[in-house]
């Protein structure tokens, strides 16, 4: 804080009744920090702390109780079903994240370097689905892939199949496709912003020094876009791990994800401590995956 | 043709990507005018009856109003708080301000389901339990990372020396903030509010845990998705939402282009 130059005239001109500038600045800072501090501490920190507290409670139907145990956390870790579902959530979300980022990268590249006067229109078109209902975007896939749905009826109409194809819906791969579609726009934006900020003369320099286009891409563009790739992966991965809407709508019985289990504990099963324990464990799992992915990608990109 | 493909494969790819992005969504309006309950080809005939049934549904109107209210309130609170947090972090950075700013962005790392149940436990302990107010609280947390990120990038986009000049000329901190920083940050405030508003208006996962007796629009849609008979009406509703969103998005785009900075700079950075 170097405000000293501002204090000199203030001390000379301000009448003595007014509080000195430094303490007034302190009051201003306090007011400035108050709303944010209130929200982050009372809502975010408090709620997360409560969740942690809940996860070590015995399910006796109360929020503040006296009985504690680590059974919830322990059984969530050891129960084979929970482990399977947690693993499935992470694997499915990782596939979704990979697919979303890989599919979005060329679009972001085109937007940043090639789109020219089409850039604004394209950017608008890519972000527009972001403005439509998420539930309906997911639900549209159910209409498309249902047994008597759009795809089957269209294919039959065209004479390409005789009987409706079974098994388009209610598989884990349906969940992957649907999630990849629903989160597409989220991946394009961070990638585009990162690519757009890269200095263009680097590519010219690479070309001048004899790099072929693919060399220029893999050894200049790609390593420099790692921050964009990481933030795109983050905004896709985290919400998809906890998603329970897509598995419920298009996933069928064999693709329930960790969000489905947590939701069931807070709904039908009515065992809040068990649900809180699942939530705590999935948060830890997410943190581990995010940190590991960051470490691997950063190492890989600094080596090339 | 073949040479065109190899030379312009990127253009072809982007076009295919847009088709993938839009095809399933665009089926919703098509079937909302179809005179049949089952969404399948061949189309049966044109009808407006599903839109008629929307108009006659008071629960829908109620849910839409609730959503408007929740989204306006949550977006306003999240934008105001996000603005102050970003300003404190970037311009008057103390360890406290930086810590708050970091904490405010933490929900990016929390899946909606975790935030939802954490707040559900919270509002049951202190507040009135699940209600519209609880959803507002949940959406403030959910939108706060976005608004903080947008406002930080906005405050970073103009030099601090403008505010230093105001202070040198005798303005106090409050006047500098109100008369210099806020007007300069206005485009950021607008886009932060709009982003937060859309996010909240469309948010289902957090709201599902915090909803009481009064549903928001996504909760209402979810409750209707279970009944196959309601399907065409839901698609009509989806079409209305789609059209309104397109108009709003186009309007926002138009406003943004009249502004000075490019949208990408102010949306996320």
Number of structural domains in chain A = 1
| SS3 category, A68 | strand
B119 assigned to some structural domain: yes
The more confidently predicted of residues A19 and B149 is: B149
CB pairs under 8 A between A and B: 272
In this complex, do B97 and A29 lie within 8 Å of one another by their Cβ atoms?
Answer: yes
In this complex, do A40 and B204 lie within 8 Å of one another by their Cβ atoms?
Answer: no
In this complex, do B122 and A43 lie within 8 Å of one another by their Cβ atoms?
Answer: yes
Chain A nearest-CA residue for B267: A189
Give the tens place of pLDDT for each residue, B42-73. 677 787 778 888 888 888 889 989 999 999 99
Among A28, A157, A234, beta carbon nearest to B173: A28
CB under 8 Å, gap of 24 or more: what pairs does A281-285 form? A281/A73, A281/A76, A281/A77, A281/A86, A282/A86, A282/A89, A282/A241, A282/A242, A282/A258, A282/B111, A282/B114, A283/B109, A283/B110, A283/B114, A285/A86, A285/A90, A285/A241
In this complex, do A39 and B42 lie within 8 Å of one another by their Cβ atoms?
Answer: no
- Please give the span between the terminal C-alpha atoms of chain B, in angstroms, as a whole number: 40
| SS3 category, B165 | helix
DSSP A43: I
Work out the pLDDT band at B225, boundaries 50, 70, 90: confident
Q: Quick check: A194 and A228 in contact, CB under 8 A?
A: yes
Number of structural domains in chain B = 1
In this complex, do A136 and B238 lie within 8 Å of one another by their Cβ atoms?
Answer: yes
DSSP B230: G
Chain A nearest-CA residue for B101: A36
pLDDT at position B140 is 94
| Mean pLDDT split into 10-residue runs, chain A, 304 residues | 45 52 80 86 86 81 69 81 88 92 91 83 82 82 80 79 76 87 86 86 82 80 85 89 87 82 84 87 88 82 62
B54 assigned to some structural domain: no
Closest-CA distance, B240 to chain A, in angstroms, reads 10
What is the mean pLDDT of the segment spanning B143-153? 90
Closest-CA distance, B248 to chain A, in angstroms, reads 9
Chain A nearest-CA residue for B264: A193
Neighbours of A60 (CB within 10 A): 10
Q: Which of A160-174, B102-116, B224-238 has the lowest mean pLDDT?
A: A160-174
What angle (nearest 5°) sits at the alpha carbon of residue A11, between those of residues A7 and A17? 130
- CA–CA dist A247, A173 (Å, integer): 11
Among B174, B225, B242, beta carbon nearest to A139: B225
B56 assigned to some structural domain: no
In this complex, do B108 and A10 lie within 8 Å of one another by their Cβ atoms?
Answer: no
Torsion of CA B92, B94, B97, B101, to 10 degrees: 90
All residues of chain B having their beta carbon less than 8 Å from the beta carbon of residue A244 are: 113, 205
In this complex, do B85 and A143 lie within 8 Å of one another by their Cβ atoms?
Answer: no
B30 assigned to some structural domain: no
User: Which of the given ranges, A155-169, A196-210, B202-216, B229-243, has the highest pLDDT on average?
Assistant: B202-216
Query: Is a pLDDT exceeding 50 seen at residue B260?
Result: no
Q: What CATH number should be reported for the domain holding residue B99?
A: 1.10.3720.10
Q: What CATH number should be reported for the domain holding residue A232?
A: 1.10.3720.10
Q: What percent of chain B has pLDDT over 90?
A: 20
All residues of chain A having their beta carbon less than 8 Å from the beta carbon of residue B208 are: 263
Pick the residue of A65, A112, A133 with the most B CBs within 10 A to test the interface with B by mutation: A133
| SS3 category, B36 | coil
Chain B nearest-CA residue for A31: B84
- CA–CA dist A154, A144 (Å, integer): 10
Pick the residue of B7, B27, B110, B157 with the most A CBs within 10 A to test the interface with A by mutation: B110
A119 assigned to some structural domain: yes
Helices (H), chain A: 4-13, 21-38, 46-55, 71-78, 80-109, 119-127, 134-145, 150-157, 172-182, 184-196, 201-208, 213-216, 222-224, 226-241, 245-246, 258-266, 272-303
pLDDT at position A118 is 84
Among B31, B38, B103, beta carbon nearest to A44: B103
Among candidate residues A82, A36, A24, the one with its CA nearest the CA of residue A274: A82
Pick the residue of A9, A12, A32 with the most B CBs within 10 A to test the interface with B by mutation: A32
Q: Is the peptide bond before B42 cis (omega within 30 degrees of 0)?
A: yes
Owning domain of residue A259: 73-303
For helices B9-32 and A134-145, angle between their N-to-C axes, nearest 10 degrees: 90
Pick the residue of A39, A119, A137, A156 with the most B CBs within 10 A to test the interface with B by mutation: A39
Closest-CA distance, A107 to chain B, in angstroms, reads 6
Among A128, A130, A149, beta carbon nearest to B39: A149
pLDDT at position A216 is 78
B125 assigned to some structural domain: yes
Closest-CA distance, A303 to chain B, in angstroms, reads 26
pLDDT at position A8 is 46
Work out the pLDDT band at B262, boundaries 50, 70, 90: very low
In this complex, do B40 and A263 lie within 8 Å of one another by their Cβ atoms?
Answer: no
Among A47, A123, A190, beta carbon nearest to B122: A47
**Which residues lie closer than 8 Å to B101 by C-beta, 6 or more apart?**
A36, B85, B86, B88, B89, B148, B152
Among candidate residues B157, B200, B195, B263, the one with its CA nearest the CA of residue B71: B200
Chain A nearest-CA residue for B202: A133
Q: Quick check: B183 and B166 in contact, CB under 8 A?
A: no
Region class of A199: left (phi > 0), else alpha (psi between -120 and 50), else beta: beta
B128 assigned to some structural domain: yes
Among B24, B108, B124, beta carbon nearest to A181: B24
Q: Tokens for A39, please give them.
A: 């929200």
- CA–CA dist B256, A111 (Å, integer): 18
Query: Is a pLDDT exceeding 90 seen at residue B79?
Result: yes
DSSP A44: I
Chain A nearest-CA residue for B235: A136
B34 pairs with which residues across the strands? B46
- CA–CA dist B157, B90 (Å, integer): 11
Pick the residue of A46, A117, A135 with the most B CBs within 10 A to test the interface with B by mutation: A135
Give the tens place of pLDDT for each residue, B14-39. 989 988 888 888 888 888 887 777 77
Owning domain of residue B186: 65-224+261-267
- CA–CA dist B119, B113 (Å, integer): 10
What is the mean pLDDT of the segment spanning B144-160? 88
What is the mean pLDDT of the segment spanning B154-175? 86
Q: Quick check: A61 and B128 in contact, CB under 8 A?
A: no
All residues of chain A having their beta carbon less than 8 Å from the beta carbon of residue B97 are: 29, 32-33, 36
Q: Tokens for A296, please give them.
A: 């691997």
pLDDT at position B136 is 94
In this complex, do B234 and A139 lie within 8 Å of one another by their Cβ atoms?
Answer: yes
All residues of chain B having their beta carbon less than 8 Å from the beta carbon of residue A61 are: none
């Amino acid at each position: 804080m170097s405000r000293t130059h501002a204090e000199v005239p203030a001390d000379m001109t301000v009448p003595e009744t007014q509080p000195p500038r430094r303490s007034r600045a302190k009051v201003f800072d306090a007011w400035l920090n108050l709303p944010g501090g209130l929200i982050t501490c009372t809502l975010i920190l408090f709620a997360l702390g409560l969740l942690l507290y809940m996860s070590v409670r015995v399910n006796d139907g109360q929020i503040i109780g006296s009985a504690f145990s680590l059974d919830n956390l322990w059984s969530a870790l050891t129960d084979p079903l929970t482990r399977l579902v947690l693993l499935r959530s992470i694997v499915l979300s990782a596939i979704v994240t990979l697919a979303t980022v890989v599919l979005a990268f060329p679009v972001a590249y085109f937007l940043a370097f090639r789109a020219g006067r089409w850039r604004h229109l394209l950017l608008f078109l890519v972000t527009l689905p972001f403005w439509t209902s998420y539930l309906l975007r997911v639900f549209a896939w159910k209409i498309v892939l249902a047994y008597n749905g759009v795809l089957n009826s269209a294919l039959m109409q065209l004479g390409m199949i005789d009987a409706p194809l079974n098994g388009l819906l209610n598989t884990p791969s349906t969940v992957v496709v649907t999630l990849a579609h629903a989160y597409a726009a989220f991946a394009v934006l961070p990638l585009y912003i990162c690519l757009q900020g890269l200095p263009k003369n680097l590519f010219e320099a690479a070309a001048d020094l004899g790099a072929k286009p693919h060399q220029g891409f893999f050894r200049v563009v790609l390593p420099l876009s790692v921050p964009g790739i990481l933030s795109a992966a983050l905004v896709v991965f985290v919400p998809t791990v906890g998603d329970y809407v897509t598995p419920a709508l298009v996933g069928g019985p064999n693709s329930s994800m960790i969000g489905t289990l947590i939701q069931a504990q807070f709904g039908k099963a009515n065992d809040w401590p068990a649900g809180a324990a699942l939530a705590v464990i999935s948060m830890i799992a997410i943190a581990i995956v995010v940190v590991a992915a960051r470490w691997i990608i950063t190492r890989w990109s600094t080596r090339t | 043709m073949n040479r065109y493909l190899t030379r312009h494969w990127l253009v072809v790819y982007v076009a295919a990507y847009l088709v993938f992005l839009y095809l399933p969504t665009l089926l919703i309006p098509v079937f909302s005018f179809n005179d049949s309950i089952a969404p399948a080809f061949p189309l049966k005939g044109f009808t407006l009856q599903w839109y008629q049934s929307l108009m006659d549904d008071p629960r829908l109107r109620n849910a839409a109003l609730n959503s408007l209210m929740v989204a306006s309130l949550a977006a306003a609170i999240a934008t105001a708080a996000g603005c102050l947090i970003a300003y404190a972090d970037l311009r008057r950075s103390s360890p406290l301000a930086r810590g708050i700013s970091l904490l405010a962005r933490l929900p990016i790392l929390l899946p909606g389901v975790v935030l939802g149940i954490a707040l559900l436990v919270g509002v049951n302990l202190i507040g009135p339990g699940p209600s519209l107010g609880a959803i507002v609280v949940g959406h403030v947390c959910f939108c706060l990372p976005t608004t903080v990120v947008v406002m930080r990038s906005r405050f970073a986009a103009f030099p601090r020396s403008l505010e230093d000049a105001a202070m040198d000329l005798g303005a106090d901190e409050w006047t500098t903030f109100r008369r210099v920083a806020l007007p300069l940050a206005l485009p950021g405030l607008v886009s932060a509010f709009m982003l937060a508003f859309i996010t909240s208006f469309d948010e289902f996962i957090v709201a599902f845990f915090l909803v009481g007796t009064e549903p928001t629009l996504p909760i209402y849609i979810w409750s209707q998705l279970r009944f196959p008979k309601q399907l065409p009406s839901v698609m009509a509703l989806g079409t209305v939402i789609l059209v309104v969103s397109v108009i709003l998005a186009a309007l926002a785009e138009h406003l943004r282009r009249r502004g000075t900075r490019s949208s990408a700079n102010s949306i996320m950075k």
